[in-house]
Structure 1
Amino acid sequence: GDHFSVLTNKDNEIVLCLHAWERDGHPTMKDQSLTAGNGLLLYFRTSDWKKVKHNLEEIEWTIEEEIHLNKNSRRQELSFRDPDGYFITVTEFHIYEG
C-alpha cells in the first residue's frame, strides 16, 4: 500500500515491515512524542497463537487487544505489551499475500 512496505526473502517469508506513522490506528504509531516502545510493532505469526494467549494469562501479562479479526490482514490476532512497554501482536500463521 501507500503507507506500508514489506521485505520478503526468496521463500516469501517476511523479513521486515515498514509502516508510516499515524496510519491504521496502531497504538504505538499514533504519537511520536511517547518513548518506550513507541514507533515499533513486533508482529509474530504462529500456528499455536491460542497457546500464546494461554501463556500470557498464566504469567498475568496484560493483554492490550483480545483475540479479534484484524480488518487489514483478515487474520485472528491478539496484542500485549512486554515489561519494557513494547507492543507485540501475535497472529494466526499465514503466508504473506503481498
Structure 2
Amino acid sequence: MHPQPLIAVEDVEKTSSWYQTMLGLSSGHGGKEYEQLMFNQHMVLQLHQWQAHEHPNIGSPNTAIGNGVLLWFESSQFDEIVQKLQNHQVEILEGPKYNANAHHREVWFKDPNGYTLVVATPYGDV
C-alpha cells in the first residue's frame, strides 16, 4: 500500500504548474478538472477541481483549507527546492531549519491554495 493524497483546488492547471515548478514534479494526467502529479513515474499527489464530478465528500471551498493536514515531501533536492521557493518569493512559514528530533532539515510553506507543505531531507540526514 502507498498513499495517494488528493487535494481540492480552484484551478487545477495553475496548481499543477506551481507544483511542477517548485517541487520538480511532472504531469501524469493533465486537465482542467483532475491531475496526477508524478515523481520518478510514481504518483505523489492528485489535484481535483472543487466542483468537478459531483463528489459530495470532497469538502467545500468555503471552509478552512487543510486544517490539521500537512503535505509532507521527503526530498534529496532540498537545497534546490528552497532556492526555488526563495526565487519565486513563496512565503516561508518555518525554516529552512534543522529538526533535532528527526535529524534532518525541513522547510514549511503554503501552496497557492493555502495548503501547508513541508519538504524535508531524509530522516537522519544531518
Contact 2:103–2:123, Cα closer than 8 Å, also in 1: no
In the alignment, structure 1 residue 52 sits paired with structure 2 residue 86: no
Identity %: 29
- 3-state secondary structure, aligned to 2:71: strand
TM-score by length of 1: 0.58
Counterparts of 1:51 and 1:91 in 2: how far apart (Å)? 12
**One-letter identity of the residue aligned with 1:53:** V
Counterparts of 2:70 and 2:79 in 1: how far apart (Å)? 20
**One-letter identity of the residue aligned with 1:49:** F
- Bigger RCO of structures 1 and 2 (CA < 8 A, at least 6 apart): 1
Moved over 2 A (4+): none
Counterparts of 1:87 and 1:69 in 2: how far apart (Å)? 18
Contact 1:37–1:84, Cα closer than 8 Å, also in 2: no
Q: What's the Cα RMSD here?
A: 2.0
In the alignment, structure 1 residue 89 sits paired with structure 2 residue 115: no
Q: How many residues align?
A: 65
The answer for unaligned runs of 5 or more in structure 2 is 4-62
More helix by share: 2
Counterparts of 2:96 and 2:86 in 1: how far apart (Å)? 13
How far the C-alpha of 1:69 sits from its partner, in A, is 1.6
Structure 1 residues 1-98: aligned runs within 5 Å: 15-16=2-3, 35-94=64-123
- Structure whose CA Rg is larger: 2
How far the C-alpha of 1:80 sits from its partner, in A, is 0.4
How far the C-alpha of 1:72 sits from its partner, in A, is 2.8
TM-score by length of 2: 0.46
